Amino acid sequence: MFMLTLGGERMIFGRYVNRFYLKYGFFFALGVLALITVDWYQLLIPDITGSIIEGIQYNTLTAEILQNYMIELMKIAAIMIIGRFLWRIFIMGTSRRIDYELRNDMFRHAEKLSQRYYQENKSGGLMALFTNDLNAVRMAFGPGLMMFFDVMFLGGLAFYRMYELDSTLTFFALIPLLMVSLLAALVSRITGKKFKERQKAFENMSDFTQENFYGISVIKAFVNELREIREFAKINKDNYDKNVSFIKASTLMHVGIEVFINVIRILMIGLGGYLVYRTIGLDLSDPGKFSVGDLSRYVSYFGMMVWPMMAIARLINMRAQANASMQRINALLDQKVEIQDAPDVMPIQRLGGKITFHNLTFRYPNSKTEVLKNLNLVIEPGEIVGIIGRTGSGKTTIVDLLLRIYNLKPNEILLDDTDIMKLPIKTIRNEIGYVPQDNFIFSDTIENNIGFSADDIDLNHITKIAEYSDVHDNIIDFPGGYQTVVGERGVTLSGGQKQRISIARALLKDPTILIMDDSFSAVDTKTEEMIIKNLQQLRKGKTTLIIAHRISTIQLADKIVLIEEGEIAGVGSHERLLKSNPLYQSMVLRQQLEAEVEGGVTCGETLL
Amino acid sequence: MAKPSYDDFDSLRNKTYSDWTIVKRLLLYVKPFMLQLVIAFVLVFVLVGLDLVGPLFLARVLDSLGKADVEFAEIITIVILYIGVIAVNAFISYHQSLLLQRTGQKIIYNIRRDVFNHLEGLSIAQFNRVPIGKLVTRVTNDTDTLNSMYTDVLINALRSIMTIIGVFVIMFTANASLTLLISLVVPFVILASIFFRIYSRKAYRQVRYHVSSMNAYLSEHLSGMKLIQIFNREEKKFQEFKQKNIKLRKSYVMQTVTFAVYRPLMYMLYVSTLIVVLWVGGTQAITTPELMSYGMLIAFTQYISKFFDPIQDLAEKFDTLQSAFTSGERIFELLDMKPDVKDQEGAIELEGFKSKIEFRHVWFAYIEGDWILKDVSFTVNAKETIAFVGATGSGKTTILSLIVRNYDIQQGQILIDDIDIKDIKLSSLRKHIGQMMQDVFLFSGTIESNIRLRDDSIPDSAIVEACKYVNADRFIDKLPNKYHELVRERGNNFSSGQRQLLSFARTLVHQPSVMILDEATANIDTETEELIQESLKKMMNIGTMIIVAHRLSTIQHVDKIIVMQKGKIIEMGNHQELLKQKGHYHTLYMLQYDKRLQAFNQTITTH
């Protein structure tokens, strides 16, 4: 009865794991069968030893009988060895398969989630789902399942055999054993708490050292090394204390449990001994007789019961952990996919490059401030458009919206006169080339980074694109050339190199619309000039949006859009804006002065 | 510098130190705790002894019960005696284990202290060479790995070995011929364990490698998800992920198979031994009962299981030892890294700053031959404010880090009050110079703790005063918790302008004789920008100040301007002098009076 409720509690169920029971039920069944077989045969061994003892004691044992026993023992051993191999392969191996499939499911789902999700959830927490939580679930399927059946069968059978031998004695053995087991479950909650404290102290130390190392220049500047060392000593001491406190509790628990079990065992020997003593006159065939062989059997069975009993406590904890972890994983898998094609999506594959903003007003989810206010703008195919404005004016938001990272109200952005919300997301993103502001580069070869969008990589083509982006010369200077792995073994790229690789990555797509979000901030003006010249040639007939801080980046654009606090503060060519727009004028002037302070090129003539 | 990263693959341990050196150095940390360890070792003997008498008690009980004239009182005596042994065993076991673990923790405490303290002494250049994550791992995880070696492996190994020997001694004394027969199994056990070691180590490495490669992949791709989505690469990346996941699964399965073979194999050997015991022992019991009683036979069956357990344990604990060696090596490598900027012998304390800071024909390169500063000479007099202007990479910022000796120069001299800064104690030098850096680093804590920087001698009033002086009070007063407002990780809940103001306050409150400032290039909102300019003007009046300037308004108020280009000084002088030169500065100045500047200023104030 107790076992059954425990079983109901232990199993983890849920939409995302139930199918595994179906899919792998057969393997689990085989594993459990092997496990039960092992348990069954394991219990036969004490009977053989017991019989041998009786045979010796009563002088009935002959060489022939002994030989038969031994042959039987060999058979049992053979079956057990095969069984033990099989249950490990079937149960543990299958749990690894579930682990694998669940991890795939999680990653596949994570790929569909919106940027809003990624902004709200730290990547550290997401990582924990993939590592700790997944492992806890796997443990429930693997070792958990094994323990569960061991408790049921090994425990149950041993109990049954003991009960057969002597019911009262078994009663006296089982009750304290159960008590120890439950006590262990309780105490392990306490040690669990201490363990968490220990973890907390460890994390604290990790955080402290990390921050200290990141801020080392401040520490050195204020000659604060000694104070930091003193502070670290405190944290170090706290770690020591928490560790010792945990160790104390867990050692006490382990030693305590061992003592309890040993004492019960000896009391069993004593009580059993008394039974033997009491029935000493009876004949071996008498049902009331408790022989020395029986006592030996009894003690062995008792030994076999200990592990399942202890496993109960571990099972309870494992179940609690697995359930909590499963819930967290479910929360990820249940996360709604916010950005997806509309039900009435139009089957459009290609775009022409026209972009229309129509009364576009936008605020980020869960935010009250309007980032963009009533934006109206038409970009014709083939235009090079510069977008300029101060930090926080809403430039990057425009890019995010064009890439359909957020959902919009109907007809706020039209691509080729079709509402962006009705276009397939795949089409939008295939047709747009994007150079992100943060220049995220994967730790892969440079070739693969530039060829990110391509299914088949053509090195010639990549080289050409890298030349257009003025990064080819840098790349061939690296020891591995295009095969150099970025971010490993010391090859780290400078900001400017990253930026130009990122430009090449987007150019390789030869997209209908190219969006460059502040893509020249880390390159010098000369390089910038060269790339822009290349762009003008490459992007003929295709739409290009260049977002920039520096006027020099966009002054040659067909059209410049000046954004100020989410609104369009001016549209026109550089010359026109310079003549008529005071905000643009002041921006130009200010940048020119700053360039002068920086000691850059004297750009007075070219700009004013 | 470009060392192979052996973090995830211990086979790639680059043997900087031999195993023996590592052991010796690890033992050095044990030395102060010799007494504790000797006690723990001695207690292990006692514990193993107490543990091994158990089966003898059982044998005695069973044999006594077999006798027709058994007195039950005898059984009771044995039981009570046995319980006594268990109680003593438990008592010793608890204290021994605690003693050991505590000692292990103390050792780890010492190692951590040494590593951290050593790291604090390294130069900023050295910090920039190693990824911070790795340094943190050295202090935390690697020391933790050592802990499991000191407590778990070392003592358990001793206990296991003692148990194995003890079992043999007892069995041999009880029945020599049977024991010799049993010993025939030993070579097979060793062979099986060696094979297991080879395969399990391989499997273990594979698992570790694939786990860390999976984690690296995940952490990178979860943070780069936006790009994957925008480039429509979900499917391709999923396939890539799947391949990694398959490799991970296979490595796990391989590990499972290794154990699935080894454990039953050991069981087979155990049963073989059991058969030998029962068969031979049983035959002896029938034929020569004086040599082998049935009680002793049962005791033997128990001893052989006590013999197999520690062997299995030893074989499976080996991995911990392996990783401890790797961790030990990494730690010692770090400890052997000599600080490259340190006090010279006989370095002196700087007693106040009186007259001037002087650069005398200074040459400097971060990388040999690539000169950043070429023959730079200038003088800053006390109470003077000097500004450096020039393009990015012209060497302005480098000058600031040389004054505080973040790096040592290759040629020339830097002097403060005619003393070479190399002859001044680093701590003294840096205490006199207040640094305000371009990227202001804030620690997690509060505004107050970020200004105080653990210096408890600074009164709260001084902090408030400093904040008022630099105009930081304007935004602090608006915060719900004022000076106790929490600063999140790296201060990301404050704008770069606000962080700048806080760094001003932080510097002022520590009362330096000289202030150096690397002006922020970041875009700062106009309101804060004005506050910054205002407080800068005030600060210029209170002492010597060296500024790397990016803003026109900053330059307008300084005493001397130095224009840098490609590591050389091209123009130097005060405002009037530079104007007369009709050079770079002149162009700049003329621009200021362009009438359109007025329009610019107006838009700034109206916005």
- For the residues of B527-561, what is the DSSP string, one character each? HHHHHHHHHHHHHHHHSEEEEE---HHHHHT-SEE
First to last CA, chain B: 50
Mutate to test the interface with A, among B74, B78, B227 (most CBs of A within 10 A): B227
Could you read off the pLDDT of B268-307 as tens digits, one per residue?
A: 999 999 999 999 998 998 888 888 888 888 899 889 988 8
d(CA B461, CA B509): 10
Query: Chain A: nearest CA to B322, how far in angstroms?
Result: 23
Length of chain B counted residue by residue: 607
Q: Which residues of A touch B274 (CB under 8 A)?
A: 73
Q: How many CB pairs under 8 A join A and B?
A: 383
Residue A294 domain flag? no
At A598 the pLDDT is: 54
* CATH code for the domain of A161: 1.20.1560.10
Q: Which residues of A touch B238 (CB under 8 A)?
A: 104, 107-108, 111
Is B122's pLDDT higher than 80?
Answer: yes
Domain boundary, last residue among A304, A337, A370: A337
The pair phi, psi for residue A41, each rounded to 5°, is -75, -30
Residue B220 to residue A443, Cβ atoms within 8 A: yes
Query: Chain B: nearest CA to A490, how far in angstroms?
Result: 5
Residue B297 to residue A582, Cβ atoms within 8 A: no
CATH number of B19-175: 1.20.1560.10
DSSP 8-state secondary structure symbol assigned to residue B260: H
d(CA B597, CA B607): 15
Please tell me if the domain spanning B19-175 has the same topology as the one spanning B356-573. no
First to last CA, chain A: 90
Residue B267 to residue A80, Cβ atoms within 8 A: yes
Considering the domain architecture, whether residues A121 and A148 belong to the same structural domain is answered as yes
Burial of A570 (0-12, 13-18, 19+ CB in 10 A): middle
Considering the domain architecture, whether residues A497 and A517 belong to the same structural domain is answered as yes
Could you read off the pLDDT of B223-255 as tens digits, one per residue?
A: 888 888 888 888 999 999 999 999 999 999 999
Residues 6+ apart with CB under 8 A from B127: A213, A216, B135
Residue B256 to residue A270, Cβ atoms within 8 A: no
Beta bridge partners of B419: B416
Q: Does B441 touch chain A (CB under 8 A)?
A: yes
Is B607's pLDDT higher than 50?
Answer: no
Q: Does B366 touch chain A (CB under 8 A)?
A: no
Q: Where do the structural domains in chain B lie, given as residue ranges?
A: 19-175, 176-291, 356-573
A24-55 CB burial, b ≥16 within 10 A, e <16? beebbebbbebbbbbbbbbbebbbbbbbbbbb
CB atoms within 10 A of CB B599: 15
Residue B230 to residue A93, Cβ atoms within 8 A: no
Residue B433 one-letter amino acid: I
At B69 the pLDDT is: 77
Q: Report the share of chain B in percent with pLDDT over 90.
A: 15
The pair phi, psi for residue B560, each rounded to 5°, is -140, 140
Mutate to test the interface with A, among B86, B108, B230 (most CBs of A within 10 A): B230
Mutate to test the interface with A, among B6, B43, B47, B62 (most CBs of A within 10 A): B62
Section B101-106 average pLDDT: 90
Contact status, residue B26 vs residue B326, Cβ threshold 8 Å: no
Contact status, residue B412 vs residue B399, Cβ threshold 8 Å: no
Residue A6 domain flag? no
Is B129's pLDDT higher than 80?
Answer: no
Residue A343 domain flag? no
d(CA B94, CA A255): 6
Greater model confidence, A8 or A579: A579
Considering the domain architecture, whether residues A109 and A179 belong to the same structural domain is answered as no
Residue B172 one-letter amino acid: F
Residues 6+ apart with CB under 8 A from B324: B145, B146, B148, B149, B153
d(CA B540, CA B559): 9
Token pair of B574 as six digits? 């005060």
At A207 the pLDDT is: 85
d(CA B315, CA B193): 6
Q: Does B435 touch chain A (CB under 8 A)?
A: yes
Mutate to test the interface with B, among A222, A304, A440, A565 (most CBs of B within 10 A): A222
Compare all CA atoms of chain A with the CA of B4 and give the residue at the minimum distance: A489
Compare all CA atoms of chain B with the CA of A389 and give the residue at the minimum distance: B523
d(CA A138, CA A183): 26
Residue B597 to residue A589, Cβ atoms within 8 A: yes
Q: Does B443 touch chain A (CB under 8 A)?
A: yes
The pair phi, psi for residue B368, each rounded to 5°, is -50, 130
Residue B282 to residue A66, Cβ atoms within 8 A: yes
Instruction: Choose the closest CB to A273 out of B75, B144, B285.
Output: B75
Contact status, residue B350 vs residue B428, Cβ threshold 8 Å: yes
Considering the domain architecture, whether residues A124 and A244 belong to the same structural domain is answered as no
Closest listed residue to residue B266, CA positions, set B277, B256, B258 = B258
Give the per-residue SS3 of B111-174: HHHHHHHHHHCCCHHHHHHCCHHHHHHHHHHHHHHHHHHHHHHHHHHHHHHHHHHHHHHHHHHH
Considering the domain architecture, whether residues A99 and A199 belong to the same structural domain is answered as no
Between A416-425, B144-153, B498-507, the lowest mean confidence (pLDDT) is in: B144-153
Between A450-454, A487-491, B287-291, B416-420, the lowest mean confidence (pLDDT) is in: A487-491
Token pair of A48 as six digits? 């053989």
Section B462-476 average pLDDT: 87
d(CA B445, CA A556): 48
Domain containing residue A91: 13-166+313-337
Instruction: Choose the closest CB to A123 out of B101, B219, B237.
Output: B219
Greater model confidence, A487 or B167: B167
Compare all CA atoms of chain B with the CA of A608 and give the residue at the minimum distance: B596
The interaxial angle of helices A63-87 and A15-42, nearest 10 deg, is 170
Q: Does B445 touch chain A (CB under 8 A)?
A: no
- Give how far the C-alpha of residue A4 lies from the chain's centroid of Cα atoms, to the nearest Å: 34
At B219 the pLDDT is: 82
Average pLDDT, chain A: 85
B503 in helix, strand or coil?
helix
Residue B591 to residue A593, Cβ atoms within 8 A: yes
The pair phi, psi for residue A389, each rounded to 5°, is 170, 165
Considering the domain architecture, whether residues A439 and A558 belong to the same structural domain is answered as yes
Q: Which residues of B touch A67 (CB under 8 A)?
A: 279
Section B453-475 average pLDDT: 87
Considering the domain architecture, whether residues A445 and A584 belong to the same structural domain is answered as yes
Section B492-504 average pLDDT: 82
Is B147's pLDDT higher than 90?
Answer: no
Is B602's pLDDT higher than 60?
Answer: no
Is A9's pLDDT higher than 50?
Answer: no
Token pair of B77 as six digits? 């005596």
Is B592's pLDDT higher than 70?
Answer: no
B390 in helix, strand or coil?
strand
Query: Chain A: nearest CA to B249, how far in angstroms?
Result: 6
Could you read off the pLDDT of A564-575 as tens digits, one per residue?
A: 888 888 899 888
Task: Please give the angle made by the CA atoms of B440, B445 and B447, to the nearest 5 degrees.
Answer: 60
Considering the domain architecture, whether residues A324 and A380 belong to the same structural domain is answered as no
Confidence class for position A57, pLDDT limits 50, 70, 90: confident
Residue B431 to residue A223, Cβ atoms within 8 A: yes
Compare all CA atoms of chain A with the CA of B280 and give the residue at the minimum distance: A66
Average pLDDT, chain B: 83
Residue A70 domain flag? yes
Considering the domain architecture, whether residues A274 and A333 belong to the same structural domain is answered as no
Total domains present in chain A: 3
d(CA B123, CA B132): 14
d(CA B474, CA B467): 9
Is B518's pLDDT higher than 80?
Answer: yes
Query: Chain A: nearest CA to B294, how far in angstroms?
Result: 6
Residue B160 has, within 13 A of its CA and on its CB side, a CA count of 17
Query: Chain A: nearest CA to B217, how far in angstroms?
Result: 9
Q: Does B261 touch chain A (CB under 8 A)?
A: yes
Residue B226 to residue A405, Cβ atoms within 8 A: yes
User: Which residues between 117 and 136 in chain B have a beta carbon less than 8 angstroms from any beta carbon of chain A?
Assistant: 117, 119-121, 124, 127, 132-133, 135-136
d(CA B39, CA B30): 13
At B3 the pLDDT is: 31
At B531 the pLDDT is: 84
Considering the domain architecture, whether residues A211 and A135 belong to the same structural domain is answered as no
The pair phi, psi for residue B19, each rounded to 5°, is -55, -40
Q: Does B90 touch chain A (CB under 8 A)?
A: yes
Could you read off the pLDDT of B32-89 as tens digits, one per residue?
A: 999 998 898 899 889 999 989 888 888 888 888 877 777 888 888 888 999 999 999 9
d(CA B600, CA A583): 8
Closest listed residue to residue B51, CA positions, set B132, B165, B135, B202 = B165
Q: ipTM surpassing 0.90, yes or no?
A: no
Considering the domain architecture, whether residues A424 and A527 belong to the same structural domain is answered as yes
DSSP 8-state secondary structure symbol assigned to residue B370: -
Considering the domain architecture, whether residues A32 and A149 belong to the same structural domain is answered as yes
Residue B87 to residue A103, Cβ atoms within 8 A: no
Confidence class for position B601, pLDDT limits 50, 70, 90: very low
Is A608's pLDDT higher than 60?
Answer: no
Token pair of B111 as six digits? 């190692």
By DSSP bridging, strand A432-435 and strand A355-362 are unpaired
Is B521's pLDDT higher than 70?
Answer: no
Query: Chain A: nearest CA to B86, how far in angstroms?
Result: 7
Give the H or E element holding residue A63: helix A63-87
Greater model confidence, B251 or A524: B251
Contact status, residue A418 vs residue A485, Cβ threshold 8 Å: no
Contact status, residue B143 vs residue A202, Cβ threshold 8 Å: no
Contact status, residue A217 vs residue B437, Cβ threshold 8 Å: yes
Is A269's pLDDT higher than 90?
Answer: no
Instruction: Choose the closest CB to A600 out of B72, B391, B596.
Output: B391
The CA distances from residue A135 to B74, B248, B467, in Å, are 53, 13, 50
Fold for the domain defined by B356-573: Rossmann fold (3.40.50)
Residue A138 domain flag? yes
Q: Which residues of A touch B286 (CB under 8 A)?
A: 56, 59, 61-63, 66
Contact status, residue B354 vs residue B382, Cβ threshold 8 Å: yes
Domain boundary, last residue among A303, A337, A371: A337
At B438 the pLDDT is: 80
The CA distances from residue B194 to A85, A563, B162, B167, B571, in Å, are 19, 72, 20, 22, 75
Could you read off the pLDDT of A70-97 as tens digits, one per residue?
A: 999 999 999 999 999 999 999 999 999 9
Residue/partner pairs of A176-181 with CB below 8 Å, 24 or more apart: A176/A260, A176/A264, A177/A261, A177/A264, A177/A305, A177/A306, A177/A309, A178/A309, A180/A257, A180/A260, A180/A261, A180/A264, A180/A309, A181/A309, A181/A310, A181/A312, A181/A313
Could you read off the pLDDT of A139-186 as tens digits, one per residue?
A: 888 888 888 888 888 988 998 988 888 888 888 888 888 888 888 878
At B552 the pLDDT is: 67
d(CA B489, CA B442): 8
d(CA A450, CA A503): 9
Query: Chain A: nearest CA to B233, how far in angstroms?
Result: 7
